[in-house]
Structure formats: structure tokens, C-alpha cells
Amino acid sequence: MNIPERISVRKAMREDVTFIDGRKNVLDALRAMRDGECTSLIVEKRDDHDEYGILTLSDIAKKVIAKDRAPERVHVFEIMSKPLISVHPNMDIRYCARLFRKFGIRRAPVVEEHKVVGMISYYHLVLEALPELD
């Protein structure tokens, strides 16, 4: 029997995470996404007792564009998702994929010692889990 190599979330995750203050408006968030070349932003905690949030392009499309709201008049905190399901960097990517399926999510922050250290998505899971493509 051939046992597959264990691949951790740390190996597959994107390390450059873009953060935003929840009081910023959606236009600022879109600029941050463009500049960070990302499709989601982690919304910063307000204090040590708060939780991280997330804002995705899908949130903006559904809650701003589809409702014909002006992005400069909508705050990030109004449309973000919070609290988040997060994963640990040492989690096996197979379990991460199962977690995504179970909860119907597409991405999650990677949290270590209460700090976001990366972002993992189906995109990263699939590309890392596939054998060499060359």
C-alpha cells in the first residue's frame, strides 16, 4: 500500500496576508485587494478580546454591488464575516479540505499563537496536493 506524503497547511498557505481596519470603507478595501493582489482581506481585531473578520470579493459583489450601494459609503464591518473558522499551520491539508467542505467555506486564515500567519484556500490546497506538474 502506498501511503501519501503528509503535507501541512504551512507548506501550502499564502504567507502574505493583507489586513484592513473594519472602519475603512469598501472602496479602500478594493484598493487594498488590488495592491495586495488578493481576493480577501483579514479584518483586524479591535482589541485583544475581539476576533478576526474576513472580507471577500464575493461579499462586496453580493452586499454592495448587487444591492446598488456606493462602496465609499459602506464600511467593511457592515459586510464582513466574523468570527472566522481558522486552521493551524500544522494541520494536514486533507483535513483542511474536509473542514472547508463541512462548513461550506473556501478559505481560512492560518492562526498560530493567536496571530494570523497566512491564508489557505482551495486554490492553495489543490496546487500543493497535486504531484509535480512539470
- Ranges of the chain whose pLDDT falls below 50: 1, 3
Total domains present in the chain: 1
User: In this predicted structure, what is the pLDDT of residue 5?
Assistant: 77
User: In this predicted structure, what is the pLDDT of residue 1?
Assistant: 44
User: Is residue 1 assigned to a domain?
Assistant: no
- Run of H or E including 97: helix 93-103
Supply the range of the domain harboring residue 33.
Answer: 9-129
User: Is residue 113 assigned to a domain?
Assistant: yes
Maximal C-alpha separation, the chain: 58
CA 8 to chain centre: 17
CATH number of the domain residue 85 falls in = 3.10.580.10
User: Is residue 3 assigned to a domain?
Assistant: no
User: Is residue 48 assigned to a domain?
Assistant: yes
User: Is residue 134 assigned to a domain?
Assistant: no
